Amino acid sequence: MRSIINSAGDGYVTDISDLGRVSDLWEYWGFSPWSFEGMKGVYRRVTFVKNALIGEVCRYYADDYIIWSHSGKADRQRILKACKPQPDLMTQRYLFVEGAESREKCVIRSFFLGFRGYAEVHTFTPGGGFEKRIKDLAPLVDKALELLRSRKNESGGGVPEK
């Protein structure tokens, strides 16, 4: 079990695997449940459309994965090897949520010198710093944990707020 202590310092411990319990937040941001070879998390596809005076010039996609149930480095390597280029898919971003900071840098794999897209594998420890490349995903994880804690407080699972 991988847990983290609330960054507010109130002593609440939250299990990272509980991130799946805030499905309303994930659905609001366009994510749906995802699993692969024992890993669990959420997934979304973002569509980018380039327009000009003549109309739509091109359309391409980016896939985002937030993974909270995994086996660490072995799963990160497995994901990187399993990624394949797909038509019109430019970026596949995988964010591995960790209970303790691994200090591993982002690993990027390009397909055909980037002409067929990229796969990126990132790690993130909630409450910690993050790279620019995941500035839209990391705060969602922090928000999900904050929402989990507030729900635990509301259900009598914590110290009442004054």
Residue 2: pLDDT over 60? no
Domain boundaries defined on the chain: 16-131
Tens-place pLDDT, residues 24-51: 999 999 999 999 999 999 999 999 999 9
Sign of CA pseudo-dihedral 149, 95, 65, 73: negative
pLDDT on residue 25: 95
78 or 152: whose pLDDT is higher? 78
> Any idea what the Cα angle at residue 66 is, between residues 10 and 14, rounded to 5°?
20
Q: Alpha helices, DSSP H only, in the chain? A: 23-28, 73-82, 138-154
Q: Which residue is it, tokens 């411990």?
A: 13
Token code pair at residue 143: 């928000």
pLDDT on residue 103: 74
Residue 65: pLDDT over 90? yes
CB neighbour burial string for 62-79, b if at least 16 within 10 angstroms, e if fewer? bbbbbbbbbeeeebbebb
Tens-place pLDDT, residues 134-150: 999 999 999 999 999 88
Whether the CB-CB separation of 123 and 79 falls below 8 Å is answered with no
Q: How far apart are CA 51 and CA 55, in angstroms?
A: 5
